[in-house]
Amino acid sequence: MEFSLSEEQIELREAIIRFARQEIVHDLAMYDKEGHFPFDSWRKCAEMQIIALPFPEEYGGCGSDFLTTVVVLQALGYSCKDAGLVHALSTQILCGLQILLFGSPEQKQRFLPPLCRGEKVFAQAITEPDAGSDAIGSMRTRAEKTEKGYVLNGSKMFISNGPIADVVIVFALTDPEISRLGGISCFMVEKETPGFERCHPVEKMGLCTLQNGELVFADCCVPASALLGREGQGAIIFNESMEWERSLLPAAHLGTLERVLETCVSYARKRSAFGQSIGKYQAVANKIVDMKLVFELGRLILYKAATLKSQGKRATLEASIAKLFISEGLKQSCLDAVQVHGGYGFTKEYELERDLRDSVAATIYSGTSEMQQAIISRLMGL
């Protein structure tokens, strides 16, 4: 399988890098410290049509394939140091893909254009206070059917974009008596809906600009038209969305890893100790070589997953491998980058400490590393 990029994809990658360096210029140190979301930079990314990439032109999209979207998010992760913003953009795209794949014609026409323009912020709500890795099997949020639609009760936790979301795709139990694979449904809940509350963002060690928090549904009434897909199709939508998500997020991680790698190579060439550059010492060079291995091998499996999705094929195994390998590799690479830089790596001025803080979450969200290992082993027939 050939993964070389087209000339158009290479030009787009370079355009995104120039854009991010010139236009995404908010004071990241301040935003990170105060936990604020950079709405101005979000709007600039939307105007650059980053969100619109994989969607049909009839909804205001660019009609690009999924590999191109992955290439762009990788470029953004490389050139934009605000990992929280890139994560928020990835979440927006993921929500749009669910609407595109499972939404009714009316839902697509209503929600996709403002989603592509970035005028409305979208979130996906699966995780609950007592249900993380087993979110489907342990889900407690209920959606009771009524004559007018559905009534939702329950809460969701650690929802990316949740505190600022205009629209949330909510997963809830519609029939707890049958298998969870057929008893969960999805609903489009808008922020003005009575009974729906967006709580304050949680304080986190990293990804501080990403607004992440709890959502509460207390007798939240939604019309039947809010149902995304068919009733009982929630588990199918979830499994499909995870393949997209486990390709989108690692794309940004791969870009960050590339930037960290370049930073370490440059520093190891310039910094001297005992009469020679520190890159000449095997203990230092080996750490940087390991980063290069993760980047090159991670790119291969990620592009394979993205190519399969672009061809309309399943990529469950490839997406899980990409997510596991790249997220663990990023976390270790950021830790090694701090070590390579010594005392400077421990300072905020060199910004590597923020990359390290941001990287820790990569092995937790979208299925922990342990869950990815379980998925991979199951797909291997073990």
State the CATH number of the domain containing residue 324. 1.20.140.10
What's the mean pLDDT in 359-381? 96
What's the mean pLDDT in 8-36? 97
User: If residue 165 lies in a helix (H) or strand (E), which one and from where to where?
Assistant: none
According to the model, what pLDDT value does residue 134 have? 78
Nearest to 96 by CA among 80, 118, 68: 118
Instruction: Tell me which residue range forms the domain holding 308.
Output: 235-379
Helix residue spans in 207-273 (DSSP H): 234-270
Percent of the chain with pLDDT over 70: 99
What's the mean pLDDT in 243-259? 96
Total domains, the chain: 3
pLDDT tens digits, 144-184: 999 999 999 999 999 999 999 999 999 999 998 886 678 99
Q: Looking at the structure, do residues 252 and 298 belong to the same domain, yes or no?
A: yes
Number of Cβ atoms within 10 Å of the Cβ of 39: 13
Q: Is residue 46 part of a domain?
A: yes
Q: Is residue 307 part of a domain?
A: yes
Q: Which residues are catalytic?
A: 245
Q: Looking at the structure, do residues 188 and 309 belong to the same domain, yes or no?
A: no
pTM of the model: 0.96
Cβ–Cβ < 8 Å for 362, 331: yes
Q: Looking at the structure, do residues 207 and 247 belong to the same domain, yes or no?
A: no
- End residue of a domain, out of 120, 146, 174: 120
Q: Looking at the structure, do residues 159 and 243 belong to the same domain, yes or no?
A: no
Q: Is residue 340 part of a domain?
A: yes
Q: Is residue 2 part of a domain?
A: no
> Which whole-number Å values give the CA distances from 77 to 36, 63, 114, 128, in the listed order?
19, 22, 24, 28
Q: Is the pLDDT reported for residue 304 higher than 90?
A: yes
First to last CA, the chain: 26
